[in-house]
Structure 1
Amino acid sequence: MAVDVLTETVIDAPCDLVAAYAADPSNAPEWYVNIVSVEWETPSAMEVGARAAFVARFLGRRLVHTYEIVAYEPGRRLVMRTTDGPFPMETTYTWEPYGTDGRATRMTLRNRGGAGHRFAAPAIRRANRKDLAALKRLLERRSSPGA
């Protein structure tokens, strides 16, 4: 069963801050509910071809999968695909200034792939919502005056 889940949020923080933080896989354990750790397999430069191994807990299982950056437009878009792991997956982030003054950020998170389980899409959707809510809290706290 294929999965295609799109989730979005608006974060009251500048687009460059949101994009730089969210794009860096090293930060994933801080805001992804299911990510336990990330280890770079290549130098940790944010560039096409860079790879990072993610250790996750999902649906009660420990999953290890390696993502490779396949497209990166700093501040706008990041696309990563699994090169190995339990199932193929592509994760895409987009960021754009939001609001009349452009001081907030509209972020989308899309996961597409072959999770192979009928509960995968709803579980991914719930996890993505939690992840984006955690990211929103974290970055809004960091970008607020006096933080």
Structure 2
Amino acid sequence: MVDVITEIEIQRPVEQVSNYAANPDNAPEWYVNIQSAEWRTPKPLNVGSKIAFKAHFLGRELAYVYEITEFIPGKMLVMRTANGPFPMETTYTWESLTENSTLMKLRNRGNPTGFSKMVAPFMASMMKKANNKDLKKIKDILEHTN
């Protein structure tokens, strides 16, 4: 099993951080590997919403659909692949540290199958590296906009 947890402190209120991060339309801006996000269900984001992503990871083009399985605005978002290269669950959590500071955690976990299973240890380290870049990018975007 691959289970990668990363976190970062962002100097913005929890509402601002969670609203930005939970909006799939923003994903290509702050996710290094995501090239596009396309709504498969009507907006706004709710449990049951489906979003198709196209990404580039480990030299491969990936296309997958995430379904929102849990959503507590300002607290947590959980999404799972409805289809894709291997079953994956992504969880965002946001915790207010102060009035203007938020701890954002990003967790990816799943059970690789086939070829992906053989490279799971390498995949986990690459995911952690990518997730750290993603969190640094969202921090930079949010801390440098009004």
TM-score range, shorter chain: over 0.9
SS of corresponding position for 1:111: strand
Which runs of structure 2 are paired with 1:1-147 in the superposition (5 Å)? 2-99=1-98, 102-115=99-112, 116=117, 117-118=119-120, 119-142=122-145, 147=146
TM-score by length of 2: 0.93
TM-score by length of 1: 0.93
Structure 2 unpaired stretches of 5+: none
Structure 1 unpaired stretches of 5+: none
Deviations 1:5-62 (A, max 9, x none): 0000000011000000001111100000000000010012110000000000000000
In structure 1, what is the Cα distance between the partners aligned to 2:127 and 2:87? 14
In structure 1, what is the Cα distance between the partners aligned to 2:18 and 2:46? 14
Aligned length: 140
Identity of aligned residues (%): 54
SS of corresponding position for 1:125: helix
Deviations 1:80-99 (A, max 9, x none): 00000000000000001114
Provide the aligned C-alpha RMSD in A: 0.8
In structure 2, what is the Cα distance between the partners aligned to 1:25 and 1:68? 11
In structure 2, what is the Cα distance between the partners aligned to 1:44 and 1:51? 10
